[in-house]
Amino acid sequence: MKRIFVINGGQVFGHSGGRFNKTIADKTISFFENNEGFEVRSTDINQPYDIKQEVENYKWADVVIYHTPVWWFQLPNEFKKYIDVVFTEGHNNGIYHSDGRSSANPTINYGTGGMMHGKKYMLTTSWNAPKEAFTLPGEFFQEKSVDEGPMFGFHRMNAFTGMEPLESIHFHDVEKNADVPNDLQRYEAHLNKIFVNEYKMELSA
Per-residue pLDDT of the chain (205 residues), as tens digits, is 899 999 999 999 987 789 999 999 999 999 999 999 999 999 999 999 999 999 999 999 999 999 999 999 999 999 999 999 999 999 999 999 999 999 999 999 999 999 999 999 999 999 999 999 999 999 999 999 999 999 999 999 999 999 999 999 999 999 999 899 999 999 999 999 999 987 665 655 5
Question: What are the two backbone dihedrals, phi and then psi, of residue 156, each rounded to the nearest 5 degrees?
Answer: -70, -35
Residue 106 CB burial class (10 angstroms; 0-12, 13-18, ≥19)? exposed
Whether the Cβ atoms of residue 88 and residue 132 lie closer than 8 Å to each other: no
pTM: 0.96
